[in-house]
Structure formats: structure tokens, C-alpha cells
Amino acid sequence: MGQPDRSWVLLWFVVAGTAAAMAQSVPGAGPGLLDIPGSLEVHWSEGAKDCEATPQPPLQVHAYEPQTYILRQSPCADFEANFLYLLIGSDRALLIDTGAVESRKSMPLVDTVLRLLPMQGGARLPLLVVHTHKHLDHRAGDPQFEGVAGVQLVPADLDSVRSFFGLQHWPDGVAHLELGGRGVDVIPAPGHQASHVVFYDSRTALLFSGDFLMPGRLLIEDADAFRDSAVRVIGFLKDRPVSHILGGHIELDASGQPYPWGSRYHPNEHRLDLSREDLLALPDAFAHFNGFYNQHPHFILYNNMRTLLVLAAGVLAALALGTWWLIRSLGRRRKARGQQLSHA
């Protein structure tokens, strides 16, 4: 083939550069236009076998890109080792979840977040604090933000979530937050917990999935609602780019095996990010879910309430059997003793 006409090459660069500049300046631009790349090349705090003997910083901060921060609470600070996300727009910032530790002294969350906020007109950028769901390990840090100037805190209960985001037909519908040149969509995703939502950031094409999807145990409170949420989120993302899916925890090692419950030591962790393919695998995982447990390479479906009920039933059955055996044994002893006395 001959050499391309240089004028056409130059024209292509001009058009591409103009389109990119327009995409950066237009809030709510179409799918893919605001897909800002970032980095997940970071070694997350893995805690320690003996946290008292090996002190750990309580909070780790990683800049995914200049306007997106990932905060990881150390497993030594709390075994839940939550991931929190700070998104910064030109008008306000958004913090997703406040983690598992209430104490400002042991977990300086509010101080860290405020330091990350840029200044605007002599004051820090306003901050909106929201949650993926109501479980305490995702909202324990709320008191740190209460009464702080420039901070709006949305409670995590279902009524507050529906009202603030305008999701009156819950769980149908999608809400939208505008941070200033940065749009974030809010998609209802109950099943793990009744008020669960996931957040999609069109600027980075990141999906912040909380405990709905993560490299860990997907604890199922309502299987039908969880299955419907998977279909809903898949449908929402059908024509949108997905760079990474970032959840609330890492509970698996790199080989896909779960750490013990309550473990404060996470050596050789699984990657934080999951992919669109992992999301698309959820419906099939549910199709093979026996109601108790099903393991996928990157997550585990787990109904802890059913499992606890089965364990409780097993314990009660064992107690009943033991009681029956004890009563029967005592009866036999009394009978044998009576026979001995009658022959005396």
C-alpha cells in the first residue's frame, strides 16, 4: 500500500482532539466519552498475624486518578477492612461509605477526606456522603461527618435513600447525581440488604458495587431480589463501558479461597477489581445456587441465614438425641438397680 495522505492524518488528529476536548467539558456526555483511565497498581494493607506486635496505619489512600481516591481501612483496624471511594467533581465531592470504625481517634477518616478535597472560594469543596447499604460496617464512621461544615450526610435506611435520590418506584428506576462535570448514576440493587444501591461513574467507567459484587462472600438476604438486581445492573450497563467493578471488601486470596471469618491478616489477596464478565456470570451462578452456597472463581454466593438455621437445627437435633440417649440410659440404670434390689 502507498503512504497515506498527510493532510488526512492531520485532519484525523484535529477531529479526534476536538472530540476529546468536548467530551471533557460537557457534563453527562455519552457512554465512553468520559472514560478516564486510572491505576490499580497498589499493594493494599494486608493486616498482620499479630496486629498489636505489628502496628499498622489505620487508613490507606490510593489515587486511582487525580479526582478519584480509594481508601482502604486496615484489617488490623477492623477485620472487615472496608474500601471507601471519594469522587471529586468541580462543584462537589462524593464519598461512598464511611466504613466499619466510628472512632475519629483510631480511624481519622473525616480528617483524611477533608484534606483530599480541593479548595474553592476560600473553603473546601462541599462533600456529599452516601452509602452502598445500611450494614454497620459501611456506615459506622457517619458520626465523624455529622455537623461538619460543608458536609451533607444521607442516612442509609431505605426511606432516606428513596427520598434523597428520588427513587419512588424502588427498586425500579435510576437516579443521577451531578458533581460538576462528573455524573454518577445510582442503581437500586437490593438482595444483600434492602437499601443497597450501586454507583456508576461515567467519567471513569467505574462501578462501585459495595457488597453486591466483590471478591468475597456475597451474603444473600433475599435471593429473588438479588437475582433481579443482577439483571437490572446488567441491563443498565449493556451499552456503557465498564473499566472496573470495585466492591466493599476483599475476602478471597489470589486463588479464590476465602479467608477465615474475622481474619485480620490477608496475605496474597485477590485483586480488588472485578470485571463485566464477573457481573455477567451472576445469573448463571444463581441458576446453580442451591440456596446455601455456590463458589465462582471470583466470588461466593452464600446465604448465611439459611446456613445458620441449618446449623441451629443440627445443634437442636443433636441436643434432642443426646437428651433422649441420656434419659434412656438413666432409665436402664434405674431398671437394673431395681432388679438388683429385688434379688437382694
- Mind listing the pLDDT tens digit for each residue in 108-158? 999 999 999 999 889 999 999 999 999 999 999 999 999 999 999 999 999
Mean pLDDT of the chain: 86
How many CA atoms, within 13 angstroms, populate the side-chain half-sphere of residue 251?
24
Residues 155, 136: Cα–Cα separation, whole Å: 12
Q: Encode pLDDT of 293-310 as tens digits.
A: 999 999 999 996 544 443
Residue with the bigger pLDDT between 334 and 196: it is: 196
Residues 67, 51: Cα–Cα separation, whole Å: 32
pLDDT of 166 over the 50 cut: yes
The pLDDT of residue 327 is 73
Least confident of 102-106, 202-206, 248-252, 305-309: 305-309
Structural element, H or E, at residue 61? strand 59-65
Q: Encode pLDDT of 311-333 as tens digits.
A: 344 445 556 566 656 676 676 77
Residue corresponding to grid cell 428520588: 166
261 sits in the region (left: phi over 0; alpha: psi -120 to 50; else beta) called beta
Cα dist from 305 to 62, 226, 324, whole Å: 35, 15, 28
- High-pLDDT (> 70) share of the chain, %: 79
Residues 31, 9: Cα–Cα separation, whole Å: 26
Closest CA to 98 of 107, 106, 89: 107
Q: Give the global pTM.
A: 0.82
The pLDDT of residue 319 is 62
pLDDT of 202 over the 50 cut: yes
